[in-house]
Amino acid sequence: MEIRQWIQKDCIVNISPFLEGDHWYASKVLEVGSASFTIIPPQKKDVSFAVQSGEKIRVSVPSAEGLFLFTCGVLAQDREGEARVELEFPKEVVHLERRAFPRLPIQLEAQYAEIRGGSGGLAFSRSTALDLSGGGIRLETNRMCPRETLLRVKFQIPLGEMEEELILTGRIVRSVPGEGARKSQVGVEFIDITPHQQESLVQFILDRTKGKGAQAM
């Protein structure tokens, strides 16, 4: 599987410094060469991303054709100036086709914040989720947000007698401006969701849609 066509400058990839487990972090591609590509290390307060040359890390690349997964070697890490990590292109790639997630029309309280450059904290705004799936969410927004904008989204879902809070990163794949009293809406694709979080979402949706015939997203 040729992965180079799916790794382009400024595209979003997910990386994990662990060869097993659900610890994935969103990153962005800075440069693409003939045999390697360079990424920005994750910029989260609770993440200590430190790798050395010669180590292996996991990478996942979301695309319209599904999800591409591979393990690749770290060629170099530069901490002077703009932090960056150079990764070699893999020899083997696993391709997971996009699943047809059930989509649940819903009225659910949520919060969202645009992810921008700089070290300032995120400014969250209240919102309402209009539908939800294991792969994304549709939100009302107070203003027009363009496609490819990165958002941090927070919401809670009940699971049994407990509630689970999900804090996810996504990119806007659809944006509909508001008209009159109607607010703008955005369709957000999750890019850092873990298998556990996805299973929780799908289970919540299936529990709510039993016998109702959920749409596919």
Domains in the chain, ordered, with CATH? 4-96 (2.30.110.10), 102-210 (2.40.10.220)
User: So what's the pLDDT on residue 173?
Assistant: 93
Spatial distance between the Cα atoms of 52 and 105, rounded to a whole number of angstroms: 45
Mean pLDDT over each residue of the chain, to the nearest integer: 81
The set of residues, in sequence order, having a beta carbon less than 8 Å from that of 170 and lying 6+ positions away, is 136, 137, 150, 151, 153, 188, 189, 190, 191
For the full predicted model, state whether its pTM sits above 0.85.
no
Residue pointed to by tokens 């299973």: 199
User: So what's the pLDDT on residue 215?
Assistant: 47
Average pLDDT, stretch 7-16?
Answer: 85
User: So what's the pLDDT on residue 158?
Assistant: 84
User: So what's the pLDDT on residue 116?
Assistant: 79
Q: How confident is the model at residue 30 (pLDDT cuts 50, 70, 90)?
A: very high
Decide if pLDDT at 148 tops 70: yes
Residue pair 74/55 in contact (Cβ under 8 Å)? The answer is yes
Closest CA to 52 of 70, 71, 33, 78: 78
Convert the pLDDT of each residue in 49-63 to its tens digit.
777 889 999 888 876
